[in-house]
Structure 1
Amino acid sequence: MNFYTKKNILKQCIVEFFGTGLIIFFGTGCLLASKLTNIYLNSFEISFIWGLAVSISIYFSSSISGAHLNPAITIFFWLSCKIHKKKVLPYIISQIFGAFFFTMLIYFLYYRELVSFINHNNIIIGSQESLNLASIFCIYPNFNNSFIRNAIIEVFTAAFFMIILLQLNNKKNNKLLYNSSIRPILIGILVFMINLSISPINNISLNPARDLGPKIFLSLIGWGVFSFTGGSNNFLYFLIPAIGPIIGINLGGWTYKILMNNDFLKNKNINNI
């Protein structure tokens, strides 16, 4: 690998770091604002902010890194020969670290409010009572559902998301759409609609970095193993937001490739994903 290529990959990784981090910053920020301040945001508003954060992050990173912003999408493009294997691990590390760093940033911006809330409610970090607070940063599946039901919802939703995502990026589907700047907005709307539709029955991730980065951070500041288990006796629940999106994104991607029978995945210039 020559110097230029190394420099180019470094630039792409930096953009993936910031792009993924921006999603976490704005998404988690609105949850913290709603929980800890006098600003109350309902599910519609929170879902809208998450979707808008995705759109902004795609605009920020698409021209440089392709705006993967998601280890599951990076893995799919690697398996479908869309990116070089040498980019896979650097991209994934950048995405997870971006989620970690921007979780840390928003945590310390709201640190005074967090401490006040913890003291006022006599919450012990790492106890079951702290789950509601940890849920601001991380994804914990609905423990009232069975492991199988939660896993199916996560995988199905991720597959559904990927199929629509690929169709939105299919230049043969609509040349005007492909050449315009509206696709990031449509992808953000897609995230908004999925969150609003599915969140009442289960918390979903769609993105392993979105969950794993914050959980690593919380584990280092007092939550420990609780940040991964959420107090559940079934440790496998941790795998749902981490592994579920990888299975779902790849299932949806390959389903689209096989059933839609088009040349989209042969296109070498995939952006805004």
Structure 2
Amino acid sequence: MSPSVSRRRAWIGELISEALAVAIIILIGDSAAAMITLYDPNPYAQAYWGVCIAWGLGVTMAIYVTGSVSGTHANPAVTLALALYRGFPKRKVVPYWIAQVVGGFVGAALVLQLYHPVIDAYNAAHGLTRAGGGAAGVFFTHPGEHVTPMHAFWDEVILTGMLLLGIFAITDEFNEVAPRANSSALMIGLLVAAIGASAGYLEAWALNPARDLGPRLLAWLAGYDGAAFPSPGNYWWVPLAAPLLGGVLGAGLYQIAVKPFLPSGRKPHAQDDTAPATD
């Protein structure tokens, strides 16, 4: 195989990997959202942590499946931060973003296939329609009680900043207390779950433009119409723009406030006390 063919094959594999990673996350996460939204009593009524851990383990599984191929960015905010601070090729940013949104769309389509009878039954029982936003929370995010779109914007900036601060710490080879080997995937998943457990009710903790846009596009095509775009309060842009800004700020905070003070990785060789003395 010629080098050019090999590079092209590797590049195609990276894009497939990114799409697959987001599809896995959405399939698991949006299915958990369906469980809490569509069933009464819902299985998480007294244990919202179950929803959070489902999303987190979806992220962990995506990393285990695709990490060796693309690094499992699975989030445009992560891709942008890596391009700005860790040398990820800038020419790959937009193709990665497109692949991630495609993955979100595919994952949401799988959720719709699984749950569409239940969605329709839920809407019929509650006098709702898809166009009116019935069960929209299965697919895409929206502000919670007492939260305006602009407040949600700054919430998502803060929460995605926390996510990228954690990811950069977990994956820094010179961070001596970071998890090693394959345990980093679990820790990133738990970080996602912890953010959801502490702030998910604010606006469903999107943290990821592809996580919201892909399913929102699918829902729009599936009859959600104005509930998806532009959505109440013209909210559609918030889970796209806010995570990108928050990710840049959170990763930048790590680069400025933490990384310069880590061990360099080039420690001086200590004298070996067990070696024989020489004159």
| TM-score of Structure 1 vs Structure 2, range by shorter chain | 0.7 to 0.9
Task: State the 1:23 CA deviation.
Answer: 0.5
Q: Among 128, 148, 151, which residue is 1:123 paired with?
A: 128
Query: What is the root-mean-square deviation of aligned Cα atoms in Å?
Result: 2.3
In the aligned structure 2, how far is the partner of 1:80 from the partner of 1:92?
A: 17
Does the aligned pair in 1 maintain the 2:143–2:202 contact within 8 Å? no
Aligned to 2:193: 192
In the aligned structure 1, how far is the partner of 2:35 from the partner of 2:29?
A: 10
Distance 1:211 1:176, change over 3 A: closer
* Structure 2: stretches of 5+ with no match in the other structure: 266-279
Aligned to 1:75: 80
Task: State the 1:7 CA deviation.
Answer: 1.1
Aligned to 1:19: 21
Read off the aligned partner of 2:56 and give its amino acid letter. G
Does the aligned pair in 2 maintain the 1:9–1:87 contact within 8 Å? no
Higher relative contact order (CA 8 A, sep 6+): 1
Read off the aligned partner of 1:157 and give its amino acid letter. L
Aligned to 1:173: 175
Secondary structure of 2:129's counterpart equals: coil
* Structure 1: stretches of 5+ with no match in the other structure: 268-273
Distance 1:148 1:109, change over 3 A: closer
Does the aligned pair in 2 maintain the 1:159–1:249 contact within 8 Å? yes
Shifted more, 30-39 versus 189-198: the winner is 30-39
Say whether residues 1:247 and 2:248 are aligned partners. Answer: no
Following superposition of structure 1 onto structure 2, how do residues 35-54 of structure 1 map, counting pairs within 5 Å? 35-37=37-39, 40-41=43-44, 42-54=47-59
In the aligned structure 2, how far is the partner of 1:243 from the partner of 1:16?
A: 20
In the aligned structure 1, how far is the partner of 2:136 from the partner of 2:89?
A: 36
Task: State the 1:67 CA deviation.
Answer: 0.8
Read off the aligned partner of 2:66 and give its amino acid letter. S
In the aligned structure 1, how far is the partner of 2:156 from the partner of 2:194?
A: 15
Does the aligned pair in 1 maintain the 2:208–2:243 contact within 8 Å? yes
Q: Deviations over 1:229-262 (max 9, x none)?
A: 4322xx2x32221110000001111121122243
Task: State the 1:3 CA deviation.
Answer: 2.3
Q: After TM superposition, which residue ranges in structure 1, 4 or more long, deviate above 3 angstroms? A: 34-39, 261-264
In the aligned structure 2, how far is the partner of 1:141 from the partner of 1:201?
A: 6
Read off the aligned partner of 2:15 and give its amino acid letter. C
Does the aligned pair in 2 maintain the 1:76–1:249 contact within 8 Å? yes
Task: State the 1:122 CA deviation.
Answer: 2.5
Secondary structure of 2:162's counterpart equals: helix
Read off the aligned partner of 2:60 and give its amino acid letter. S
Task: State the 1:263 CA deviation.
Answer: 9.2
Q: Deviations over 1:109-152 (max 9, x none)?
A: 2122222222222322212xx35x10111011236323332221
Q: Among 111, 117, 137, which residue is 1:112 paired with?
A: 117
In the aligned structure 2, how far is the partner of 1:175 from the partner of 1:158?
A: 22
Q: Tell me which structure has the larger Cα radius of gyration.
A: 2
Read off the aligned partner of 1:40 and give its amino acid letter. P
